[in-house]
Copies of this chain bind each other. A is one copy, B any other.
């Protein structure tokens, strides 16, 4: 896949995650600067972690100023558009799903381009995709949504990373197939949210205990 196209998907993922961060900032009562910071942490955090692990020079978010535009734009959009806390809560999950879908693809791609093996690429794709969201929720002092047992979160990202890795090995990964993979992941995640698809609990034959975010 052309790297400029990978950059485009990556920037779009940053923007989606940044919006989810800014929306959470609204819900938590942070100010505009906190909104930019939480947006940056979520939008850029997963990618910075990915680039630190790849160990190939300073992370893209620091060497390419374009990346800074994503959280700034997200904070401005959220500032002018958002109308209510209820809606914000639902939108966090939607934009988060968009970031998740794009990052699992670009994360796997970057790892493969850096010469990692397939298992590492899939793992790094999932790490990139769930990393930003974990940073967001830990910083805002709530249990990360990736651990919410009421809906699937990591499984769509895992499938997306594996799909992108498979396509890369077949030489079929390009902007079209990459975008389709991301759309599949997004659809899967939204369906999991809507129909509350659940994975089995962490211990066999257990009553489902109450899960609290706080």
**Assuming the A-B contacts A58-B53, A62-B124, are A209 and B29 also in contact, with contact meaning beta carbons closer than 8 angstroms in the complex?**
yes
Q: Is A62 within 8 A of B116, CB to CB?
A: yes
Closest-by-CB residue of B relative to A154 is B33
Chain B CB within 8 A of A176 CB: no
Q: Tell whether A35 is near chain B: CB-to-CB under 8 Å.
A: yes
Report A1-44 CB contacts with B as 1/0, cut-off 8 Å.
00000000000000000000010011011111111111000000
Please name the residue on chain B nearest to A64 by beta carbon. B120
Specify which chain B residues have a CB less than 8 angstroms from the CB of A29 in the assembled complex: 149, 201-202, 208-211
A143 at the interface (CB under 8 A from B): yes
Segment of A96-104, A132-140, A166-174, A177-185 in the binding face = A132-140
Cβ-defined contact, A32 with B79, below 8 A: no
A28-B147, A37-B130 known; A58-B120 Cβ under 8 A: yes
Q: Do A65 and B119 form a contact, CB below 8 Å, given A78-B202, A79-B204, A202-B35?
A: yes
In chain B, what residue has the closest Cβ to A41? B134
**A80 interface residue, CB < 8 Å from B?**
yes
Measured CA separation A31–B75 after assembly (Å): 33
Name, among A22, A32, A33, A119, the residue most crowded by chain B CB atoms within 10 Å (CB to CB). Answer: A33
Tell whether A152 is near chain B: CB-to-CB under 8 Å.
yes
Decide: A149 and B30 in contact? CB cutoff 8 A.
Answer: yes
Task: Find out whether the CB atom of A63 lies under 8 angstroms from the CB atom of B203.
Answer: no
Shortest Cβ distance from A198 into B: residue: B31
Chain A residues 90 to 124 lying within 8 A of chain B, measured CB to CB, are 114, 116-117, 119-120, 123-124
Which of B57, B59, B200 has a CB less than 8 Å from the CB of A31? B200
CB-based closest 3 A-B pairs: A35-B202, A29-B209, A31-B149
User: Besides A26-B202, A31-B199, 4 other CB < 8 A contacts?
Assistant: A29-B201, A37-B130, A85-B209, A141-B141
